[in-house]
């Protein structure tokens, strides 16, 4: 059985196939999961909407608690880390992470950045030992071989590899860096473009992205057999 963690981070509450001016990333992520479940109805899906219910941003108290050894934590530290622990537990339990992450001002939404800050945890998703010269940090999830799928959307176009705005795309690269840091390096991505243009170009981009999602699901299903 494959365990899927389905994340949405758009500030828009509905998918663009359902409501006017809805979220393209919600549209793609729901399509991915629906097609997966159509082939493997017995697989588990855990859904978390960080767009509508953002994780609490990291605070000084959170940092103090996270970098205190578990055996030495005071009760308030456990309380401060409770939400982060729940998010980490979901991630650790998942085999496949499917995340809808739109581009906001060339980067991930603040809601998704808060999620990343809560799951990159010393002692839980990465290790740290200052006595290791040259390599004090190391990922803890490498052996789990988790798969990450990023489904994005962009107002402009040309953010792909080798394209005119590649250098301004800090969505997939920043996600790849953050998740790679904890040992999740197997990543695929699909994106809708032309959102701010609308019209036929947007419709073609959506159709192409949906086709790519279907192809990606089919490939990953074969690997899951």
Q: Is residue 126 part of an annotated ligand binding site?
A: no
Tally helices (H) and strands (E) across the chain.
Answer: 7, 7
CA atoms within 13 A of residue 63's CA, in its CB half-sphere: 4
C-alpha–C-alpha distance, residues 130 and 149, integer Å: 33
| DSSP H/E element including 219 | helix 199-224
SS3 content of the chain, % helix, strand, coil (to 5): 45, 20, 40
C-alpha–C-alpha distance, residues 143 and 52, integer Å: 32
Q: Is residue 107 part of an annotated ligand binding site?
A: no
C-alpha–C-alpha distance, residues 193 and 117, integer Å: 27
- Bridge partners of 3, per DSSP, are 44
3-state secondary structure of 100: strand
Q: Is residue 10 part of an annotated ligand binding site?
A: yes
Q: Is residue 9 part of an annotated ligand binding site?
A: no
The answer to whether residues 158 and 165 touch, using CB atoms and an 8 Å cutoff, is: yes
Q: How far is CA 129 from the centre of its chain?
A: 27
Q: Is residue 159 part of an annotated ligand binding site?
A: no
Residue ranges of the annotated binding site for FMN are 10, 103-106
Residue ranges of the annotated binding site are 10, 103-106
């Amino acid at each position: 059985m494959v365990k899927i963690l389905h994340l949405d981070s758009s500030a828009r509450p509905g998918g663009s196939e359902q409501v006017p001016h809805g979220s393209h990333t919600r549209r793609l992520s729901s399509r991915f999961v629906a097609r997966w479940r159509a082939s493997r109805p017995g697989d588990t899906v855990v859904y978390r909407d960080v767009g509508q219910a953002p994780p609490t941003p990291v605070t000084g108290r959170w940092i103090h608690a996270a970098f205190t050894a578990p055996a030495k934590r005071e009760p308030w530290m456990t309380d401060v880390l409770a939400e982060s622990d729940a998010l980490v537990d979901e991630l650790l339990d998942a085999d496949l992470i499917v995340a809808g992450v739109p581009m906001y001002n060339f980067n991930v939404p603040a809601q998704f950045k808060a999620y990343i800050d809560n799951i990159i945890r010393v002692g839980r998703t990465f290790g740290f030992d200052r006595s290791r010269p040259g390599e004090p940090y190391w990922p803890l999830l490498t052996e789990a071989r988790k798969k990450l799928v990023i489904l994005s959307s962009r107002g402009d176009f040309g953010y792909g590899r080798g394209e005119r705005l590649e250098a301004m795309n800090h969505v997939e690269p920043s996600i790849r860096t953050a998740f790679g840091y904890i040992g999740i390096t197997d990543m695929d991505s699909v994106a809708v473009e032309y959102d701010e243009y609308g019209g036929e170009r947007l419709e073609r981009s959506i159709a192409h992205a949906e086709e790519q999602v279907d192809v990606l699901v089919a490939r990953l299903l074969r690997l899951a057999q």
